[in-house]
């Protein structure tokens, strides 16, 4: 089908991509209904509508640039605060609880794959992508999606299911946090100390304006480009000199290497990086642009047809995560609040973990919630690629 904007009209295509991305962010930060849907889902749906009604082409050379360059650049920008020693020192038992939640995610991916095998195309790759997403967040989802090259008609409904299940689980976590039954069987010192009033959880409150200078932007891009360049060079060496195997697929993976070098830089040079503002904003904007771009080639009818089973896949993973976390957390006598924050951090990343702590008045847990969420960004891509490769061998 011919589109209103031709595939070779690069300036017009990029104008629509950026305006559409900005619209999704504005809606998310301006309206409660949009915040509940989430900016990523809004960007995705808006892009699919524009391409399916013939305004935007489903294929264009400009689209490849987004996945090839923006996603790798977004990772080091989002991991600029991933100082391993600070995370381990300031999170305490929450660091242990977070890994319990990640174990729940991995077990959930295996269970969902076994139960739904034969009903979902590319289920091994889906298991890897969702392991990444439910360990870290959107940046890991897209990194593993790019690694396995799964089509938009499958990953777009998966993203919709991912976000809706995550939003529903946050409501479940809030209900558990306020339940007297759970407080009776789990230590809950932070709940007894808080006033249990909702301070706010909207996207606009998470992205409060901060002073960002020209030098900040320059430093962010200098660091990010250097990290990606080093990772790309090592990736080429591994691919050229080692035979294909699960080990080379994981440790030679471009996105795993970008994550490793990002954490290394953030840990070794944390004093210098703490003074730089704007990295989170730049990285997040790149991911929103990528979301919009991957929505353009998708067929809406195909996406809707794939949604129900993918909802079930994500639900199995999320419930397994929660169940494993509560059972093992009970055995280790970890505070209920820390367990719930860790489930939130794995399912939705740092923003949802921080939002939960703020909403319940657990002020002492806000910074640890942010740190374990960032740690999820660090390990999510590696775990996603690992689970995906293992499932490819099994199913």
Dist CA 222 CA 164 (whole Å): 36
Structure tokens at 220: 């962010």
Residue 212 within a domain = yes
Cα 261–chain centre separation: 19
Structure tokens at 275: 């003074």
Boundaries of domain holding 312 = 67-394
Q: What is the pLDDT along the chain (395 residues), one digit of tens a residue?
A: 678 999 999 999 999 999 999 999 999 888 888 877 777 778 888 998 998 899 999 888 888 888 788 888 988 998 888 898 888 888 889 999 999 999 999 999 999 999 999 899 899 999 999 999 999 988 899 889 988 988 878 888 888 888 888 878 888 998 898 888 898 888 888 766 554 444 444 556 666 777 889 999 999 999 999 999 999 999 999 988 888 777 888 888 898 999 999 999 999 999 899 889 999 899 889 888 988 888 888 777 777 787 889 999 999 999 999 999 999 999 999 999 999 999 999 998 887 888 788 778 888 888 898 899 999 999 999 999 999 999 998 87
Structure tokens at 364: 């002492």
Residue 228 within a domain = yes
Residue 348 within a domain = yes
Contacts of 266 (CB under 8 A, 6+ apart): 79, 80, 81, 82, 83, 84, 273
Residue 215 within a domain = yes
Best CA proximity match to 341, nearest among 374, 370, 381: 370
Residue 146 within a domain = yes
Residue 16 within a domain = no
The runs of H, that is alpha helices, within 56-188 are 61-65, 71-78, 84-91, 93-116, 123-133, 138-148, 152-177, 180-185
Residue 54 within a domain = no
- Say how many domains are in the chain: 1
Residue 243 within a domain = yes
Dist CA 136 CA 384 (whole Å): 10
């Amino acid at each position: 089908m011919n589109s209103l904007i031709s595939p070779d009209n690069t300036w017009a295509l990029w104008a629509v991509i950026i305006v559409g991305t900005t619209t999704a962010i504005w809606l998310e930060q301006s309206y409660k209904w949009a915040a509940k849907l989430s900016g990523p889902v809004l960007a995705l749906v808006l892009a699919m509508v524009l391409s399916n009604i013939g305004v935007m082409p489903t294929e264009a050379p400009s689209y490849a640039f987004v996945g090839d360059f923006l996603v790798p650049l977004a990772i080091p920008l989002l991991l600029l605060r991933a100082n391993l020693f600070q995370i381990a020192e300031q999170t305490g038992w929450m660091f242990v609880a977070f890994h319990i939640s990640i174990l729940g995610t991995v077990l959930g991916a295996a269970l969902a794959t076994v139960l739904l095998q034969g009903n979902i195309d590319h289920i091994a790759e889906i298991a890897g992508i969702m392991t990444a997403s439910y360990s870290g967040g959107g940046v890991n989802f897209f990194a593993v999606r790019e690694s396995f090259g799964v089509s938009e008609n499958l990953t777009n409904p998966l993203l919709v299911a991912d976000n809706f299940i995550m939003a529903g689980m946050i409501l479940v976590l809030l209900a558990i946090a306020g339940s007297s039954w759970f407080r009776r069987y789990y230590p809950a010192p932070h709940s007894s100390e808080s006033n249990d009033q909702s301070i706010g959880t909207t996207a606009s409150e998470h992205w409060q304006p901060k002073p960002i200078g020209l030098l900040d932007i320059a430093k962010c891009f200098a660091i990010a480009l250097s990290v990606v360049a080093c990772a790309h060079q090592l990736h080429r060496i591994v691919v050229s000199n080692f035979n294909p195997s699960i080990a080379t697929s994981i440790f030679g993976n471009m996105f795993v290497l970008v994550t490793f070098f990002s954490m290394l830089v953030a840990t070794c040079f944390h004093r210098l990086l703490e003074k730089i503002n704007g990295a989170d904003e730049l990285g997040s904007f790149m991911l929103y642009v990528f979301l919009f771009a991957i929505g353009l080639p998708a067929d809406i009818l195909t996406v809707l047809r794939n949604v129900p089973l993918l909802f079930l896949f994500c639900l199995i993973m999320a419930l397994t995560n929660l169940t494993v976390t509560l059972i093992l957390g009970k055995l280790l006598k970890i505070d209920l609040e820390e367990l719930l924050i860790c489930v939130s951090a794995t399912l939705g990343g740092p923003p949802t973990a921080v939002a939960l702590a703020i909403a319940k008045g657990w002020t002492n847990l806000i910074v640890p919630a942010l740190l374990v969420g960032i740690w999820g960004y660090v390990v999510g891509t590696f775990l996603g690629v690992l689970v995906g490769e293992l499932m490819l061998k099994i199913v």
